[in-house]
Structure 1
């Protein structure tokens, strides 16, 4: 009689065709892509751009489900608790790294409950000031703020724009006062009126106002200059060793079958590497950044350390 272990090994090849067939059959039905932020923002645009391309290659519709609230925690929890079969995926970004430090408790554990699929893009911010402010560079702004202080605007406590401002203040050694707003339009209005002196804004939200001469751009926060403002230096070029960007990628519920996770990873990377998709991502003010799951996981770990340091040093809490 064959040894039990040998019998198992002999039987294993007979199981492989069925496993392969099941892997190849995935997805068997439409996919649900949860975006835990409101429609119309950078996350929503990226989700729709990637989802359209993936729907073609997966031969199944990809339905966008906006489930916003609590800094992205509501939609993230829904994705983490979804069936682990690959048909529900999540688009998220910086909140995955920051929210654990901003909220006293979360309805999910990102490391335990979510598996990184692949990274999509980074979202540079742009440092803008009122036109009437008598500065033309980061160094001049820093000198002015050091002499008389400064107020910086954001669209809410714990948002990526708030964190960018806090990181800038720490890196420049400035004592700046944070002024949170509920919406971008109100923050921009007060900046242009000079009631606040600086804001770190998304490229898409600030581009028209800067190019229309209604505010000045001093720097971008990415490691490299951005196509929309090739003349604007990075913070590093301006003398500060700081990179502060938003970012987005796709996640699946943890314990998804490996073959399905690999399929989703491959299709996501193929989408971002598609020149037409990359061009559409760039149009939103973002920079395509296709990273496979393992590299994306390492990037997230670095972001967790960076966000924890910033949030603790600045004493930031969510609303």
Structure 2
């Protein structure tokens, strides 16, 4: 036997040894979480935080694959094209799995081509500014914005941070210059450095910097103040009533994934979220965790459909587009 043939047989034997046997119980090999943004942002953080206890429950490693671009639509598209066997899971949020359908000419259907698995967490946005911004409160910020064109950092076109700014712009009739980054984490770094003026950022991404005093917080986009940051006023209190944005996140798999696989993933996600250490870690960062009856595939499907009905007409009426 020549050396080349011997090597090829060796490689083939190696693949046979690691491939799951026919009919092997799921999961029989590592699972990939496809995060549609670059590493370092809030969705990437949440995916990694949840992956660890889920991996322990499932008995297999969970690998994070960051696939950024086009507001997350490239990463979601990759998940949809994956084999529907439970080994490729789409990690997404309000922008990638709701808003993108109204902002992009997608080559897939968010409801028909994906199957919901589990709701993970949600968080309001916080309107934040660089430390040396002259405005000391929201009214001062509104006045400053009327006479200055702010540079607003985002996690890219179509991201939640971008859409939050677009909706604010449309409501207040002020004009921004948006500066896209590969992730909200990268945008936040430049806000701390003073290279951009503002962000519409998820609480989980920016609370540590707010607490450290490296940036200013003007308002939280919810009806009530954050329990972990009670000094930040709501948008109602600040002077922008009704500007509510909640960025929720979840897990999906490609259409056609076996129901028993979806059940295993959903159960593992629910048990991971119930882990005391993870719950404390997430709630300390301002994340709201769903009640058990809100975590199921059916509950996530209902939420996604309701959010599409709510937001698509508003996005289109405001002429908010990704290009």
The aligned residue for residue 276 of structure 1 is 277
Unpaired runs of 5+ residues, structure 1, are: 1-21
Which position in structure 2 is the counterpart of 1:243? Answer: 244
Q: In the alignment, which residue of structure 2 is the partner of 1:17?
A: none
> What residue in structure 2 maps to residue 297 of structure 1?
301
Task: Give the Cα separation in 1 of the matches to 2:192 and 2:317.
Answer: 29
Give the Cα separation in 2 of the matches to 1:98 and 1:260: 27
Counterpart among 174, 179, 187 of residue 184 in structure 1 = 187
Tell which deviates more after alignment, 234-243 or 131-140: 131-140
1:17-36 alignment to 2 at 5 Å?
25-36=25-36
Unaligned runs of 5+ in 2: 1-21
- In the alignment, the residues of structure 1 paired with residue 129 and residue 63 of structure 2 have an alpha-carbon distance, to the nearest angstrom, of 39
**Cα distance in 2 for residues equivalent to 1:158 and 1:95:** 8
Aligned equivalents of 1:181, 1:30: Cα separation in 2: 33
Residues in 1 aligned to 2:140 and 2:307: alpha-carbon distance in whole angstroms: 29
3-state DSSP class of the match of 1:288? coil
Query: Which residue number in structure 2 is paired with residue 225 of structure 1?
Result: 225
Aligned mates of 1:113, 1:293 — CA distance in 2? 15
C-alpha displacement at 1:112, in angstroms? 1.2
Alignment of 1:309 with 2:322, yes or no, is no
SS at match of 1:247: strand
1:175 alignment counterpart: 174
1:196-229 Cα offsets, whole Å, 9 max, x none, are 4x43233355445433444321111234433442
Segment of structure 1 superposing worse, 230-239 or 127-136: 127-136
Paired with 1:131 and 1:86, the residues of 2 have a C-alpha distance of 45
- Deviation, 1:303, is 2.5
Partner residue of 1:16?
none
Q: Mapping of 1:190-209 within 5 angstroms?
A: 192=194, 196=197, 198-209=198-209
Report the RMSD for the aligned CA atoms in angstroms: 3.0
- Deviation string for 1:169-208 (max 9, x for gaps)? 344x433334324351575168x47x74x43233355445
CA shift for structure 1 position 27: 2.3
2: CA distance, partners of 1:23 / 1:97: 35
Alpha-carbon distance in 2 for matches of 1:74, 1:246:
19
Secondary structure, aligned partner of 1:287: coil
TM-score by length of 2: 0.78
TM-score by length of 1: 0.79
Point out the more displaced range, 282-291 or 218-227: 282-291
Using the TM superposition, name which of 74-83 and 136-145 deviates more: 136-145
Bigger shift: 37-46 or 298-307?
298-307
Cα distance, 1:114 vs structure 2 = 0.3
